[in-house]
Amino acid sequence: MKCLSLPQPWASLTILGALRHDTRTWQTSHRGPLAIHAARKFPDDARDLCRREPIRSLLLRHGIRGSADLPLGKVLGCVEMVGCVPAEQFGGDRDGGRPGPWAWVFLRPTRLAVPVPHRGQLGLFDIPDYLV
């Protein structure tokens, strides 16, 4: 299965269904199941985002009280990758994240009951199907 590593809090927001697209500098032809991995690195500016609105409320709605509750270095679940469109269709940004010319569109997030430790990589990478 293909997998995409995202930094927190974006990885959790994606798998919780609160984030339905992610802007990237590159496009992909991949469509179908896509595992979402939470990157191991969690920069201070991303941790700070967890304390600011609207991110704080989105996380709280799912029982996540703060950045310390977010898993790192783990596969969180999967989404259905349904499109890759020009990002201006979504305003070109992901609520405080980096802008990019392409929006990867996700549907049907499925959260794993227990996140699975796994090493992330840049770009799309393959993981064993049994992990999700």
pLDDT tens profile 27-46: 999 999 999 999 999 999 99
Read off the pLDDT of residues 38-89 as tens digits, 9 standing for 90 and up: 999 999 999 999 999 999 999 999 999 999 999 999 999 999 999 999 988 8
Give the pLDDT band (50/70/90) at residue 91: low
Could you tell me if 42 and 58 are in contact, meaning their C-beta atoms sit under 8 angstroms apart? no
Could you state, in order of their start, the residue ranges of all structural domains in the chain? Answer: 2-118
- Give the largest Cα separation in the chain, rounded: 36
86 is written with which tokens? 């020009």
Alpha carbon distance 75, 38 (integer Å): 6
pLDDT value of position 96: 46
Instruction: Say which residue the tokens 């997030």 belong to.
Output: 109
pLDDT value of position 99: 60
**Positive/negative CA dihedral, 53, 57, 59, 65:** positive
Alpha carbon distance 53, 41 (integer Å): 22
pTM of the predicted protein model: 0.89
Burial of 89 by CB count in 10 Å (0-12 exposed, 13-18 middle, 19+ buried)?
exposed
Q: Domain 2-118 adopts which CATH fold?
A: 2.30.130
